[in-house]
């Protein structure tokens, strides 16, 4: 491993540590849901290791609890996680054209909201995949272990306590978007508009899933920002 890759890996460890801690808490709450549908700690651990997505996992647990067929579980998980296709497309533009394809595949395995946030906010022309590997090595164990611990704990803790702890993850995500929004007024305006539009979409279109709302709003807001405020091309 080169010194550049080693440095990127360590920086990924550093930035991924708070994400892993936040995932540990949220994974714990998901573990309680998994316990209610009959999953054991090992099953919950493996499921979270292979599907690091809160909305997608919760949807899967609900469908599992209703004894749905495998096809329906796979389809529901695909729809709930569809927004990660857009995030992966954006991240692909951050890699150097010389980046091997297998690096893109491995990075795409764990594209989450928070890892996407720290990756796109990282300075520099190109993104080193070892930075994502470092963040993933902190995030994946936190998420998987949190789910397993939640199943073990079962319903010992009140649901209100677990729900209150999960707020920490949203605070962490806000901390990710505030610095670039403060630095760039266009990004800041897009963030404010996204908050407002998300609230209105949830109020007026409650039948649309959260994942689909995110996809639609991302295309509309990001597309409008790209049209009216294009980023100048580098020479």
Supply the pLDDT for residue 121. Answer: 84
Supply the pLDDT for residue 67. Answer: 78
Supply the pLDDT for residue 22. Answer: 84
Give the ranges where 66-209 is alpha helix by DSSP (H): 70-80, 83-92, 101-108, 113-120, 129-153, 159-165, 167-183, 185-204
Supply the pLDDT for residue 90. Answer: 86
Place 162 in a pLDDT band, splitting at 50, 70 and 90.
Answer: low
Q: Are 53 and 112 in contact (CB under 8 A)?
A: yes
Supply the pLDDT for residue 14. Answer: 93
Whether residue 10 is predicted with pLDDT greater than 90 in this model: the reply is yes
Supply the pLDDT for residue 229. Answer: 84
Q: Can you tell me the mean pLDDT for 161-180?
A: 66
Whether residue 171 is predicted with pLDDT greater than 70 in this model: the reply is no
For the chain, the average pLDDT equals: 83
> By C-alpha distance, which of 49, 15, 13, 12 is closest to 31?
49
Gap between the Cα atoms of 107 and 118, Å rounded:
13
Place 42 in a pLDDT band, splitting at 50, 70 and 90.
Answer: very high
Supply the pLDDT for residue 130. Answer: 94
Q: How far is the first Cα of the chain from the last one, in angstroms, to the nearest whole number?
A: 31
Q: Are 121 and 180 in contact (CB under 8 A)?
A: yes
Supply the pLDDT for residue 32. Answer: 80
Place 234 in a pLDDT band, splitting at 50, 70 and 90.
Answer: low
Place 135 in a pLDDT band, splitting at 50, 70 and 90.
Answer: very high
Q: Can you tell me the mean pLDDT for 116-144?
A: 90
Q: Are 234 and 191 in contact (CB under 8 A)?
A: no
The per-residue pLDDT for range 48-72, each reduced to its tens digit, is: 998 888 777 877 887 787 777 887 7
Supply the pLDDT for residue 184. Answer: 83
Phi–psi pair at 124, nearest 5 degrees: 110, 155
Supply the pLDDT for residue 164. Answer: 64
Q: How far is CA 162 from CA 24, 28, 166, 204, in A?
A: 11, 8, 7, 29
> By C-alpha distance, which of 108, 145, 120 is closest to 22?
145
């Amino acid at each position: 491993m080169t010194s550049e890759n080693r440095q990127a890996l360590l920086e990924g460890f550093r930035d991924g540590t708070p994400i892993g801690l936040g995932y540990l808490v949220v994974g714990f709450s998901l573990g309680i849901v998994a316990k209610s549908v009959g999953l054991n700690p090992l099953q919950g651990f493996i499921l979270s290791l292979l599907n690091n997505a809160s909305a997608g996992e919760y949807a899967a647990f609900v469908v599992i609890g209703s004894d749905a067929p495998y096809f329906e579980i796979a389809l529901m998980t695909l729809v709930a996680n569809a927004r990660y296709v857009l995030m992966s497309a954006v991240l692909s533009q951050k890699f150097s054209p010389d980046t091997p394809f297998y690096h893109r595949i491995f990075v795409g395995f764990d594209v989450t909201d928070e890892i996407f946030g720290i990756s796109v906010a990282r300075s520099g022309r190109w993104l080193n995949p070892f930075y994502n590997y470092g963040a993933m090595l902190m995030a994946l164990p936190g998420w998987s272990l949190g789910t397993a611990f939640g199943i073990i704990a079962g319903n010992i803790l009140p649901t209100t306590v677990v729900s209150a702890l999960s707020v920490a993850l949203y605070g962490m995500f806000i901390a990710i978007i505030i610095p670039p929004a403060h630095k760039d007024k266009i990004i800041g305006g897009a963030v404010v508009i996204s908050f407002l539009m998300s609230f209105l979409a949830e109020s007026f279109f409650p039948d649309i899933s959260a994942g689909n709302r995110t996809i639609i709003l991302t295309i509309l807001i990001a597309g409008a920002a790209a049209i009216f405020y294009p980023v100048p091309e580098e020479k």
